[in-house]
Every structure is written in C-alpha cells, then in structure tokens.
C-alpha cells in the first residue's frame, strides 16, 4: 500500500493542473480530469467520488463491469472506456459506458453505433491515433484518420468528439501533432472539441498542447498493484 492519502494526491494533482493551465494561458475549465481506475478496487473509486471526482476511465471490460456493479448506488458517475477494444466486447461497452476514447477501426465504431440503445444518449467517441507509429500500439495511422473520422461522424448512435493518443516515450512533439491533426479535421468541417492526451508523467506537455481530457492513474491512486 502507498501511504500518501488520496486527498493529498488529488490536491497535488490539482496544483499541477492549475500550474500547467496558467503556464499555457488556458482556463482551468478547459481541462477535464479523467481518473483512470484500472486495477484499483471499487473502494478507491468510491473514495475519490467522495472528494468530488465524477469521471472514471477503465481499460478492461470485465473489470469495469464488476466495479460498476459495486458502485451502482452512485448515480452520477460517468464511465469512459480507454482500453484496447475488441469486437466481442463492443456490446458491453455500448451498454455500460458514456465515452469511448479508443476507437481505431470503422468496424468497431459501426458495432458500437448498432449496439447503442436508442434510449441512451449517443456514445461519445474519440478516435485513437497511433501518433508515434509504433508497431505494437493500438490506434489508426495518421494517413487513415481523415477517412475514418468522416465515416465515424456519420454513424447515428455515436457522437465523434475528437482524438486520443498515447505517444511513445521521448516523442516530444506528439501532442502538438495530434492537436494539428484535430485542427485540420475541424478545418474540413468536423465539429470536434476534444483532445484526450496526457497522463501522470506528461500532463504538463499535454495541457500546453491543448489537451481537454487528461487521463490520470498513478498520480491519483498511487502505483498500480498490476
């Protein structure tokens, strides 16, 4: 167990975010905090909820559904799916999440749209871009992005909000390149307002480049037990 209280971690993180927002000349309300609760028990989510956090990100469908069940008394939690998405899991994701940050193929988007129930709001979607062109990473290529964005934007039960990336360590211009790609899509007529980028170690650079959602795990919850 780590012995830094959650409240202290949250306060330190808020200070880092405020400092980064100030340095970038942005407003605090332009940067949203997604608490990444993978490998964390439901009690940790509940504790952070008690401190005011409402948006949580999960990477693994089974783990997330179990946690959601344990936390079903908290009606105003918003769940974001941020992990690698498999075809056979799209129905569960369409039913149990409000956002998906990791859509990288049209077939996944089509399935999510078909499986999203009519009585729920459209599923909010970001396209994951393999921004550092790593062989092992999820994400569409930069070349594939314009056509994928156009096709996903046309799906009825999804709302395309923006782009997501997990840059390679040391790729110091990745966040700017993702922001530039989003700006090009906006120029071409897509109504995008979301850049999901930045984690515990690089949130300052991401905020400087225009991040609207930073996805933070270890800086909030402490090291993952894995």
Ligand X SMILES: *Cc1c(COP(=O)(O)O)cnc(C)c1O
Which residues bind to ligand X, rule: CB under 6 A?
Answer: 36, 38, 59, 82, 166, 199-201, 215-219
Nearer to ligand X, 38 or 111 (CB): 38
Other residues' Cβ atoms within 10 Å of the Cβ of residue 45: 23
Nearer to ligand X, 82 or 208 (CB): 82
Residue 196 has phi, psi (to 5 degrees) of: -95, 100
Burial bucket for residue 5 (CB in 10 Å: 0-12, 13-18, 19+): exposed
Nearer to ligand X, 44 or 218 (CB): 218
In sequence order, what are the residues at sequence separation of 6 or more whose Cβ sits closer than 8 angstroms to the Cβ of residue 75? none
Determine if residue 67 is left, alpha or beta; phi over 0 gives left, psi from -120 to 50 gives alpha, anything else beta: alpha
The residue number with the shortest CB distance to ligand X is: 217
Angle of helix 61-70 relative to helix 42-50, nearest 10 degrees? 60
Residue whose tokens read 């994951």: 128
How far apart are CB 154 and ligand X at their closest, in Å? 26
Nearer to ligand X, 190 or 218 (CB): 218
How far apart are CB 220 and ligand X at their closest, in Å? 8
How far apart are CB 218 and ligand X at their closest, in Å? 4
How far apart are CB 19 and ligand X at their closest, in Å? 17
């Amino acid at each position: 167990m780590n012995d830094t209280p959650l409240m202290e971690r949250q306060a330190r993180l808020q200070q880092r975010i405020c400092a980064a927002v100030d340095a970038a000349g942005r407003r605090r309300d332009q940067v949203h905090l997604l608490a990444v609760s993978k490998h964390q028990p439901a009690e940790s989510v509940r504790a952070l909820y008690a401190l005011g956090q409402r948006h949580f990100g999960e990477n693994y469908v089974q783990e997330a559904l179990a946690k959601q069940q344990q936390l079903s008394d908290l009606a105003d939690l918003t769940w974001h799916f941020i992990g690698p998405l498999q075809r056979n899991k799209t129905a569960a994701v369409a039913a149990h999440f409000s956002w998906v940050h990791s859509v990288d193929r049209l077939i996944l988007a089509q399935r999510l749209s078909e499986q999203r129930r009519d009585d729920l709001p459209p599923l909010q979607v970001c396209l994951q871009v393999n921004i550092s062109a790593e062989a092992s990473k999820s994400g569409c290529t930069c070349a594939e992005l314009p056509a994928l964005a156009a096709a996903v934007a046309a799906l009825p039960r999804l709302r395309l909000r923006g782009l997501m990336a997990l840059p390679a360590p040391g790729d110091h211009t990745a966040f700017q390149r993702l922001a530039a790609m989003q700006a090009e899509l906006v120029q071409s007529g897509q109504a995008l307002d979301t850049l999901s980028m930045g984690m515990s170690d690089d949130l300052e650079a991401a905020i400087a480049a225009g991040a609207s959602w930073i996805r933070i795990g270890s800086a909030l919850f402490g090291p993952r037990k894995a």
